[in-house]
Structure 1
């Protein structure tokens, strides 16, 4: 398989990479917050919007593909924060197994 070629100029957005942090609520449960790990340059591509009815309300699920340079930090369950938006990382993979880039499938938190 030929290596994937990406122009470095496609990484045109700066986002914060956040990891989930659970704070105990004193009743045996916890509340999930987010802690910033680092900033990354990424490319964000909208993929799909799916809507459905739930409890007599319309809900929309928006998915994105986020490309970034390969690193050992990005994992499933983390999120990318762009201003007031949060993209939860559902999967991470190396598209051509060259250890140069990562493709993350994300769902926008509402």
Structure 2
């Protein structure tokens, strides 16, 4: 497989990697909160903006491609945070299968 050229100097965003943690609510269910796992440098690339109408209001979904140094502990459902901005990881991949970088395909949550 061909090597992917990527300049690590483009990783200028400082993000917090967060993992979901379920806490029993005492009634058979659970409350999900997120716990910071690591602080890391990343490159955020906006990919698309999708506009939908729901209940006569416009709802926008923003998607991003976020490059990180390779980590083996990333899973779908984790999220990345930059201040108040939250990016939910839907999928991830190693672009050249060499274990150098991970590209996360994310949707930005609106607060």
TM-score category by the smaller chain?
over 0.9
Deviations 1:66-105, CA, capped at 9 Å, x for gaps: 0011111222110000000110000010111111111110
Query: Who is 1:73 aligned against?
Result: 73
Length-normalised TM-score, structure 1: 0.93
Matches for 1:7-26 after TM superposition, within 5 Å: 7-26=7-26
Q: Which 5+ residue runs of structure 1 have no aligned equivalent?
A: none
Q: How far 1:43 sits from its partner (Å)?
A: 0.2
Deviation at 1:24, TM superposition (A): 2.1
Q: Which of structure 1's runs of 4+ aligned residues deviate more than 6 A?
A: none
CA RMSD of aligned residues (A): 1.1
User: What is the rounded CA distance, in whole Å, between the counterparts of 2:57 and 2:23 in structure 1?
Assistant: 30
What is the match of residue 41 of structure 1?
41
Q: Unpaired runs of 5+ in structure 2?
A: none
Distance in 2 of aligned mates of 1:28 and 1:59: 33
